[in-house]
Amino acid sequence: MANHEREFEYTPRDFMRVKDLLYRHAGIVLNDSKDSLVYSRLVRRLRALQVSRFADYLDDLHPDSPEWQNFLNALTTNLTAFFRENHHFEVLAGLLKQHPIGQPFRIWCCAASTGEEPYSLAMTAVETLQRHDPPVSIIATDIDTQVLQTARAGVYAQDRVRDLSLTQLRQFFLKGTGKNEGKVQVKPYIKKLIQFQTLNLLAKDWSISGQFDAIFCRNVLIYFDKPTQKTVVERFAPHLKVDGHLFVGHSENLTPITRLFSPCGRTVYTLANSPVEKH
């Protein structure tokens, strides 16, 4: 849309400022074709704040400003689905079966979005270990606080769960009532397995402790450039148990990026010096 047709003044310089802020603080690379997308994502924020020019909005914006989180939330892309890239859940089921009895299995899901991915992990654990309280703990993080709010609520429209089996629907969801009429809600025993928290993969300190049996970092590295991908992925190494597994998205390939991980199946990696048998 030409600038003069827009409700708010938005210049190429404004787009460059947004691009720079998002790259420096979230690692997200916006290519130049995204300039209309940025306008449409941020225009709601200008309306809410009653600011009439993007330049004025950006002048007041910095990581410590109250608007900062809204800015990030508006610009992330949160596409996800239950049991997306299902082959990973089959691998996880195999790992859970082999895991020594009595030792908790820890998972970090680091781009959890609206919750479908961590809930699918929890559901896989319940199905595989055939108990409502499997010894599994899942930390689900994301940079976007708004999607995490949706994730915590665990309420989904019917079309989000249409690919799940009737057995899964009965086992894992309640029918929504009142304001959630027509929707489904994840059952409390599934929610109990997950702890949601905000975490920016670019932050110097990750407020995450200990080591994990599995890290799911799927479909977020694609938004980063190669140096950022390398930095983030290599920071996972100390957080992975020696026989742990790192899962990435279908178009994310770590082999050209780092020597710290070796492939172990389709978009699944182990530490390069791991004792895990490669298949």
Ligand X SMILES: C[S@@+](CC[C@H](N)C(=O)[O-])C[C@H]1O[C@@H](n2cnc3c(N)ncnc32)[C@H](O)[C@@H]1O
Active site residues: 41, 142
The residue (of 30 and 58) whose beta carbon lies closer to ligand X is 30
The residue (of 244 and 249) whose beta carbon lies closer to ligand X is 249
Extract the tokens encoding 112: 């959890």
Nearest distance, CB of residue 259 and ligand X, angstroms: 23
Nearest distance, CB of residue 50 and ligand X, angstroms: 27
Residue 79 as a binder of ligand X (CB under 6 A): the answer is yes
Nearest distance, CB of residue 232 and ligand X, angstroms: 8
Nearest distance, CB of residue 52 and ligand X, angstroms: 28
Nearest distance, CB of residue 74 and ligand X, angstroms: 11
3-state per-residue secondary structure call for the chain = CCHHHCCCECCHHHHHHHHHHHHHHHCCCCCHHHHHHHHHHHHHHHHHHCCCEHHHHHHCCCCCCCCHHHHHHHHCCCCCCCCCCCHHHHHHHHHHHHCCCCCCEEEEECCCCCCHHHHHHHHHHHHHHCCCCCCEEEEEEECCHHHHHHHHHCEEEHHHHCCCCHHHHHHHEEECCHHHCCEEEECHHHHCCEEEEECCCCCCCCCCCCCEEEEEECCCHHHCCHHHHHHHHHHHHHHEEEEEEEEECCCCCCCCCCCCEEECCCCEEEECCCCCCCC
Picking from 199, 124, 201, the residue whose alpha carbon sits closest to that of residue 168 is 124
The residue (of 70 and 200) whose beta carbon lies closer to ligand X is 200
The residue (of 8 and 88) whose beta carbon lies closer to ligand X is 88
Residues 138, 216 contacting (CB under 8 angstroms): no
Q: Which of 139, 147, 161, 221 binds ligand X (CB under 6 A)?
A: 147
Q: Which of 10, 30, 54, 80 binds ligand X (CB under 6 A)?
A: 80
* Choices 169-177, 185-193, 200-208, 251-259; region in contact with ligand X by CB under 6 A: 200-208
Q: In the window 92-131, what residues touch ligand X (CB under 6 A)? A: 111, 113, 117
* Choices 76-84, 158-166, 182-190, 271-279; region in contact with ligand X by CB under 6 A: 76-84
Q: In the window 206-265, what residues touch ligand X (CB under 6 A)? A: 218-220, 223, 249
Task: Give me the phi and psi of 240, to 5 degrees please.
Answer: -105, 135
* Choices 25-33, 169-177, 186-194, 252-260; region in contact with ligand X by CB under 6 A: 25-33
Which residue ranges make up the site for ligand X (CB under 6 A)?
A: 26-28, 76-80, 84, 111, 113, 117, 142-144, 147, 200-202, 218-220, 223, 249
